[in-house]
Chains A and B, each alone.
Chain A
Amino acid sequence: MSEGFVDRFAEGARTALVNFVRSVIQIVVAYAANLPLFILTVLSIAFIPLGFGVVMAPVAIQAIRGVANQQRAWAAEWSGVEIPVPYRAEPPGGLGAFARLRWLLTDPATWRDLLWVILNVPLGLVAGVLAGGMTLYGLEGVFVAPWLTLITEYGWGPFWMVNDYGVLGIAGAVVLGAALTVVSVPLGGVVLKAHALFTQSLLAPTKGALTERVRRLSESRSETVDASAAELRRIERDLHDGAQARLVALSMNIGLAEEMMKHDPEAAQRLLAEARASSGTALTELRDLVRGIHPPVLAERGLDGAVRALALTLPLPVDVRIDLPGRADAPVESAAYFAVAEILANVVKHSGAARAWVQIEHASGRLLMIVGDDGTGGADPGGGSGMRGIERRLGAFDGTMAVTSPLGGPTVVTMELPCALSSPKTLPSSGTG
C-alpha cells in the first residue's frame, strides 16, 4: 500500500516537473520568439514598398511558420491536440522574389499565423504562469511562507497574511499550500490543453484551406489517372509491337523448321538459330519493359538497394548515402525511385557533372531525398517534361520537389514524400530451415 503511494507520489512529482518545464518553454517562446518575430514581420511587410521588405518578409514569415510548426508539434505531443499544417504548397518551379512574396502573402494561413503570434504573447504567458506557477505557489505555501514568517514576522500564506492569524494561519498555509500543489498537477495539464486548443483555433486549416486542399487533391488525382492510363497504353503498344509480334514470328519459324527437318535439315537448322535469336530479342525487350514498370531490384532490395544498383550503372561516380530503417509502401517506393532515377538521368544528360551524390533519409514522417551534382547548373525546373513528370509522380503522394541550380552550379534537387516505413523486412532465418 505504501509502495502504491510512493509510486503515485513519484508520478505526480514527475508530472508537476514536466508541466513546469513546459510552462517555462511557453513563456520563453512567447517573449523570445513570438514578440520579436511579430515586430520583424510587421516591419518587413511595411517596408515592402521600400524594397528590402521584399527579401525580409518571406524570411520573417518562414520563421513564423517554423515557430508555428513547433507549436503544432507540441500541441500534439503534450496535449494530444492534432493540428494539421495549413500552408499552401509552393508553386512548382523556382520562384522569383516577388512570386515568392505573393505566394506567402496570399495564403490566409500566413495572416492567421500572424494573429496567433501576437495573441500568444499574453496568452502564452498566462498559460505558462497558471500551469507552472500554481505548483510553485503551493510549494511556497508549504515550505517557505510559514517558516519565513517566524523569522521575519512577515509572510503571505496562499491567500492571507500569515502573521495575522497566528498558529492557525501557519497551519492553514501549510494545508492550503499542499492542497494547491496537489490540485495544480492535473490542473497544469488542463491549462496546457486549453492553450493547445487556443493554438488549434488559429493554426489549424480553416474550411477554406480544406476546400483548397480538396481542389488540389482532385487535380493531382486526375493528373495521376491520366498519366497511368497513358502509361498503360504505352505498355500495351510495346507488348503488341514487340514481344508479342516476336513470339508469333518465333512460332512460325519453329513450325517451318519442323516441316523442313526431313528434306532440308540445313535450312531447318538456320531457321532454328533465327528463332533462338528472335527469342533473345523478345526477352531483352520484355526485360526493358519490366524495368520501366517496376525495376526488379526495387522489388528485391527496396529503395536502398535499387538506388545503389542504379548508381553503379551510371557513367559518373555517385556517392550514395541512404539511411532507411525500413521500407515504404510499394507505390511510394516506386515513385521515390523513379524520381531519383529521372534526376540522375538529367545529371548524366545535361549537367556536365564529374560527380553526383544522393542522400536519402526518413525523418518525422517524411522521406527526404536530395540529389546533387557539381555540374554547370542552370537547370530549369519549369522546363522539360521529365521534371514535370517527377512533380506529378510525387504530387500523387503529397510529395514536393525544390530545385536550386544557379548558373555555374552546383545543382541540388530536394524532394520530400510523406510516408511511413514498415519495420525492416525480416528475412526467414538463414540458419538450417
Chain B
Amino acid sequence: MRVVIAEDLALLRDGLIRLLGAFGFEVVEAVDNGPSLLRALTTHRPDVAVVDVRLPPTFTDEGLRAALEARKQVPGLPVLVLSQHVEQLYARELLSDSSGGIGYLLKDRVSDVAQFVEAVRRVAGGGTALDPDVVSQLLTRHAREEPLQALTPREREVLGLMAEGRSNAAIAGQLFVTEKAISKHTNSIFGKLGLPPSEDDNRRVLAVLAYLGT
C-alpha cells in the first residue's frame, strides 16, 4: 500500500516512516511542508496519506488545507489527518464532501500502534476514522436531545464506536459480543434515530456522522 507522509518534526516523521514501513506500507514520499504535500498528493496519488494539520510555511492549518485541496482535485483521495488537538470544526470540513476515506485523529493515538495501523488501513479502504475525543464531544452536544435520550447505554456505546468509523465486526470484537448482537443494536439505533438502514459499513458510519452534524 502506497502512502505519503507529511510531518514537519523530523523525529515524528522518521517514527511514522519506520512504523508504517514495519507494517508493510510503502512510503513513497515524506514531506515537511504544505506546498510539497499538495504536489506529492496530486502527483503520486497514494493509496492513503498521513498528514499533520500544522505545517510550514505558515504553521497554521497548512496541512489540512492542502489535504482538502488535494481531495478537490482527486476526489475521494484517502487522507488521515493527525493533530495535537482535535476540533469539531475541522472534522466537519474534512467530512463535508461525505465521500469517505477520511481520518482525523489525535497524534497520541499513534502510540496504540495496532489500532493506528488499523485506522490507516480503514481510511485507505474508503472508511472513516474519527478520534474518540471528537465523537464524545458530538455525543455530549446531542445528549440532551430526544432521540439520543431514547438509546440504551449499550446502544450509546455502540453509536460512539460507529461514529469513530468502526465496522460491526470491529465493534463486536471490542465489546466481546457477537457480530449479530451488534447488528441488532445498530438496527435498533437506526430505527430510533430515524435513519434508513444500510448493510454497508462505510455508508452507515457516514449516516451516523451526518446525523450528529459533524
Contact = CB atoms under 8 A, between A and B. Distances in A.
A300 B66 CA distance: 14
A8 interface: no
Contact of A430 (B54, B69, B112): B69
Contacts of A428: 34-35, 57-58
Interface string A293-319: 001110111000100110011110000
Nearest to A315: B141
A279 interface: yes
Contacts of B137: 312-313
| Residue from A284, A301, A428, A432 having most chain B Cβ neighbours under 10 A | A428
B38 A430 contact: yes
Given A280-B111, A430-B65, A297 B141 contact: no
B88 A312 contact: yes
Interface string A41-83: 0000000000000000000000000000000000000000000
- Chain B CB within 10 Å — which of A283, A287, A312, A315 has the most? A312
Given A283-B108, A300-B53, A427 B58 contact: yes
A75 B108 CA distance: 59
B143 A287 contact: no
B54 to A, nearest CB: 7
Nearest to B59: A299
Q: Report which residue of A276, A295, A314, A430 has the largest number of chain B beta carbons within 10 angstroms of its beta carbon.
A: A430
A236 B65 CA distance: 34
Contacts of B144: 315
A12 to B, nearest CB: 50
Interface in B86-112: 87-90, 92, 106, 108, 111-112
The binding surface of chain A is classed by DSSP as: helix
A304 to B, nearest CB: 10
Chain B interface bracket (under 10, 10 to 19, 20 to 34, 35 or more)? 20 to 34
A305 B90 CA distance: 10
B140 interface: yes
Contacts of A287: 84-85
Interface string A406-433: 0000000000000000000101111011
A39 interface: no
B85 A296 contact: yes
A315 B53 CA distance: 26
B37 to A, nearest CB: 9
A315 B61 contact: no
Nearest to B111: A276
A270 interface: no
Contacts of A308: 89
A432 B38 contact: yes
A301 B59 CA distance: 11
Nearest to A301: B61
Given A276-B112, A280-B111, A290-B85, A300 B38 contact: no
A291 interface: yes
A302 B100 CA distance: 28
Contact of B89 (A283, A284, A305): A305
B188 interface: no
B149 interface: no
B60 interface: yes
A315 to B, nearest CB: 6
A57 B54 CA distance: 56
B35 A280 contact: no
B178 interface: no
Contacts of B66: 430
A283 B137 CA distance: 18
A433 B140 contact: no
B36 interface: yes
Given A276-B111, A312-B92, 7 more contacts: A290-B85, A301-B60, A312-B87, A312-B88, A314-B141, A427-B58, A430-B38
- In the A-B complex, the 9 residue pairs with the smallest Cβ-Cβ separation, listed nearest first, are A433-B35, A309-B89, A312-B88, A300-B60, A300-B61, A309-B87, A283-B108, A296-B85, A430-B69
Interface of B: 34-36, 38-39, 42, 53-54, 57-62, 65-66, 69, 83-85, 87-90, 92, 106, 108, 111-112, 137, 140-141, 143-144
Interface of A: 276, 279-280, 283-284, 287, 290-291, 295-297, 299-301, 305, 308-309, 312-315, 425, 427-430, 432-433
20 contacts: A276-B111, A280-B108, A283-B108, A290-B85, A296-B85, A297-B85, A297-B87, A297-B90, A300-B53, A301-B60, A309-B88, A312-B92, A312-B141, A313-B88, A313-B137, A314-B141, A429-B35, A430-B65, A432-B42, A433-B39
